[in-house]
Structure 1
Amino acid sequence: MMDILMYLFETYIHSENELNVNQDELEQELLRAGFRQDEVYKALNWLEDLAALQSEDASQNIATSSATSIRIYSDQEQQRIDTRCRGFILFLEQIGVLSAELREMVIDRVMGLETADLQLDDLKWIILMVLFNVPGNENAYTTMEELLYSTDHGILH
């Protein structure tokens, strides 16, 4: 499913192409590109759930915290999000790329992937998609994009 999400993001969001196609056309394009139908449905549902996180009702269900609090991950979250990925999320919070609300959106979308093999690069793409999808985070998006495309790995994982 990550391959489909990355394909869509790079094809429509990260390029000049418009995402004005209807879901049936988009589904057909993905099938022609060689993606399996069940994975296409999962990816499109994942994107719908991401968009739904912006609604007022959904945002009220996302916990917020003070600057001095720390996120405790559930057992399920710890199984899906390894120590390295959790450390990266914390790092992004500390440098101001992710707020507590955005962090919760990222965790929600990671848990929505239905995969046990989340890699750090996958997490970075998810964070980029969340930041792109939530208005008012242009600076955070730019910083995350630089982290994603940076060839100098230095101290950043």
Structure 2
Amino acid sequence: MFDVLVYLYENYWRPDACPDAAQLARKLTAVGFESDEIEEALHWLEGLHQLVQSHGASQRPDSLRVFTPAELDLLGEECIGFISFLESAGVLPPHLREIVIDRAMASAPVRLEDLKIIVLMVFWSLGEEPDALILDELFVDAADRLIH
């Protein structure tokens, strides 16, 4: 599923640039994705679309998030730490944090690489792009970074 999401992110600037679900499924099949992977990705994207439509910026910017035992178990320390990092960097406001957590739980268990794709897709669904430093954090593997 995550390969399909990455393909969409790389090939469509915004979600409204994507064709309807049936035509998109045909295009993704033609590119070589498996039908179950396409179906899972389209279902996940529909859930994302519904969340984006229903979540406003109604949460207070100083709200505190307490993770449930199920979230702790399925997301793990690394993913929760990354969400906290994005929040503390001012990149992920509370309403977007909740969308990221919901979509991660819909895909759980997730690895950190998967969570980074989820974060990108949340911004993509809003027609936004994170700033360059955060994009670097989302795309560049920590092992490949040069330390000056």
TM range (shorter): 0.7 to 0.9
1:23 aligns with 2:21: yes
Which AA in structure 2 matches 1:37? S
| Matched residue, 2:81 | 87
Shift of 1:65: 4.3
> TM-score under structure 1 normalisation?
0.77
> TM-score under structure 2 normalisation?
0.81
Pair 132,144 (structure 1): closer, same or farther in 2 beyond 3 Å: farther
Write the mapping of 1:1-157 to structure 2, written as runs, cut at 5 A. Answer: 1-13=1-13, 19-55=17-53, 58-59=54-55, 64-67=59-62, 69-113=63-107, 115-116=108-109, 118-134=110-126, 138=129, 140-150=130-140, 151-152=144-145
Q: Greater helix share, 1 or 2?
A: 2
Shift of 1:13: 2.8
RMSD: 2.5
Aligned length: 143
More relative contact order in 1 or in 2 (CA 8 Å, sep 6+)? 2
Runs of 4+ in 1 over 3 A off after TM superposition: 140-143
Unaligned runs of 5+ in 1: none
3-state DSSP of counterpart to 2:52: coil
Q: Deviations over 1:73-101 (max 9, x none)?
A: 11221122110110111011111011111
Shift of 1:143: 3.7
Which AA in structure 1 matches 2:6? M
Unaligned runs of 5+ in 2: none
